[in-house]
Amino acid sequence: MQHLGFSIVCSLLLLAGCASNVCLPPVGTPNVTPSVVSAGGDHVGKPIRWGGTLIETRHLKEHTEIELIAYPLDSCGRPRTGAGQTGRFIIIHPGFHTTDYQIGRPISATGHITGLRKGRLGNADYGFTLLESYKVHLWPDQQTHSNYSRPWINIGIGGRGGDVFGGVGVVF
């Protein structure tokens, strides 16, 4: 019976370790958004974790630029696209990034703010915040996966006639 309990605890620890890989660690100050930086905030050089939905990818000789509409992030760093937009930003990813992302896909990135780039948004001038990335994370498309951002773990324990039974189920 103790062996069964030990096996269950080991299985849960293993599954908990797998589930924790879904979350991106927080970086920087959450209330510093691309809009705050483009409005003249003094945040150049600061580390940050931002995310949003892809608008455009540009493959250049020395780096790849990934332009996003920014959204607030949930506790795991995934963009909450149902919330209000928090500006636009451009991820500067070193090297030629060979992956072609689909427009509209949720992406999060950690890095540091390197400045602004003047550009146009429709007929208006706009300052796009630049984020030099340490890491870029492409989230699963919500339409092809469930609405949950991480696996669900179910645990069942029962017994009858002095025997103990247990089971663990994982739903992705």
The DSSP code sequence of 55-102 is EEEEE-SSEEEEEEEE--B-TTS-B-TTSPP--EEEEEEES-----PP
pTM: 0.70
For the chain, give every domain's residue range. Answer: 25-141
CATH of domain 25-141: 2.40.50.140
Q: What pLDDT score does 145 carry?
A: 43
Report pLDDT for 156.
58
Burial of 158 (0-12, 13-18, 19+ CB in 10 A): exposed
For 23-59, what is each residue's pLDDT tens digit?
A: 889 999 888 999 999 998 789 999 999 999 999 999 8
Share of the chain above pLDDT 90, in %: 51
Report the pLDDT value the prediction gives residue 95, as an integer from 0 to 100: 83
Q: Around Cβ 50, how many Cβ atoms within 10 Å?
A: 31
